[in-house]
Chain A
């Protein structure tokens, strides 16, 4: 198995596995915010602002996986 094949497999695994838990976590966060807004519609403003910030934080994990995949594909230090 060459280093190129290993890099491609590594990139695929990084994105595929690394996006599972952020997806679940974002789903949970949105569910909680929806329940909060349904119970107290007047707090929708501050809830959605906090939700956006929280989602951005969770999403960072998936973005890191994407960056690792891109570095494996385009900036791999071992495949020179």
Chain B
């Protein structure tokens, strides 16, 4: 019997709060990403060296994607969406490291990230359009569509979380099953496919978050 992918292992307790393996992995990832960003960005120069050029091309690439989708300046959205993409790419790929389970392969992490996207849609919508303009967006294209617009806010958040969770978790599960059937060298193509799926899912999650925020600020027609 394989371990259920729907529940995560509890490592230890702080007071009455159980700390699961997912949370510890996420803390580790946050520490690594923060430390790496701080170390790399500490001594930036005008004439970019190798590392700096790589980081700059990543940031500029994300910025251009956001600007192309939203048809406006990407600067207010870059901190959230860029962090989301980099964290997701790191989280999806860290399942490759032996002994580490990808945090996105358990349902809590994608649910929390989708909740962040859900709240930020309203935050940016209210900040950029104002209360009246933002609420008017729910009456488009027709006031009859109001219940469906509200329903779609909830269902798309749910499907955003479930899409990421399902893809990453199914990759992990397939790897485990193949490992149990044929151990030597056979899981390698599945792991290679897992790298591709992890990067594509990080991209899709960020693009969908951008599209939802674009709908919230009225830059993209729903």
Looking at the assembled complex, report how far the CB atom of B198 sits from the nearest CB atom of chain A, in whole angstroms.
14
Per the CB 8 Å criterion, the residue count for chain B at the interface is 19
In B151-198, the 8 Å CB interface with A consists of: 159, 162-163, 166-167, 170
The answer to whether B6 and A63 touch across the interface, beta carbons within 8 angstroms, is no
Is B207 in contact with chain A by the CB < 8 A criterion?
A: yes
Looking at the assembled complex, report how far the CB atom of A42 sits from the nearest CB atom of chain B, in whole angstroms.
14
The A interface is mostly helix, strand or loop, or mixed, namely: helix
In B1-30, the 8 Å CB interface with A consists of: 4-7
Q: Specify which chain A residues have a CB less than 8 angstroms from the CB of B211 in the assembled complex.
A: 53
Q: Specify which chain B residues have a CB less than 8 angstroms from the CB of A53 in the assembled complex.
A: 204, 207-208, 211
Given A46-B68, A49-B69, does the pair A56, B163 have CB atoms closer than 8 Å?
yes
Is A74 in contact with chain B by the CB < 8 A criterion?
A: yes
The CA-CA distance from A35 to B157 in the complex, in Å, is: 32
The CA-CA distance from A52 to B204 in the complex, in Å, is: 7
Q: Specify which chain B residues have a CB less than 8 angstroms from the CB of A66 in the assembled complex.
A: 166, 170
Is B138 in contact with chain A by the CB < 8 A criterion?
A: no
The CA-CA distance from A54 to B65 in the complex, in Å, is: 17
Q: Specify which chain A residues have a CB less than 8 angstroms from the CB of B203 in the assembled complex.
A: 52
> Given B4, B65, B204, which contacts A56 in the complex, CB threshold below 8 Å?
B204
Closest to A65 in B: B166
Is A60 in contact with chain B by the CB < 8 A criterion?
A: yes
In A46-61, the 8 Å CB interface with B consists of: 46, 49, 52-53, 56, 59-60
Is B139 in contact with chain A by the CB < 8 A criterion?
A: no
Is B59 in contact with chain A by the CB < 8 A criterion?
A: no
Given A46-B68, A70-B6, A74-B6, does the pair A63, B162 have CB atoms closer than 8 Å?
yes
> Given A49, A67, A75, which contacts B162 in the complex, CB threshold below 8 Å?
A67
The CA-CA distance from A75 to B4 in the complex, in Å, is: 8
The CA-CA distance from A45 to B64 in the complex, in Å, is: 12
Looking at the assembled complex, report how far the CB atom of B53 sits from the nearest CB atom of chain A, in whole angstroms.
22
Would you mind naming 16 contact pairs between A and B with Cβ atoms under 8 Å apart? Answer: A46-B68, A49-B65, A49-B69, A52-B204, A59-B163, A59-B167, A63-B163, A63-B170, A64-B162, A64-B166, A66-B166, A67-B166, A70-B5, A71-B6, A74-B7, A75-B4
Q: Given contact pairs A49-B68, A75-B4, enumerate 11 new A-B contacts (beta carbons under 8 Å).
A: A45-B68, A46-B68, A52-B204, A53-B208, A53-B211, A63-B163, A63-B166, A63-B167, A63-B170, A67-B166, A75-B6
8 residue pairs, one from A and one from B, having the closest CB atoms: A63-B166, A74-B4, A56-B204, A60-B159, A60-B163, A75-B6, A74-B6, A66-B166
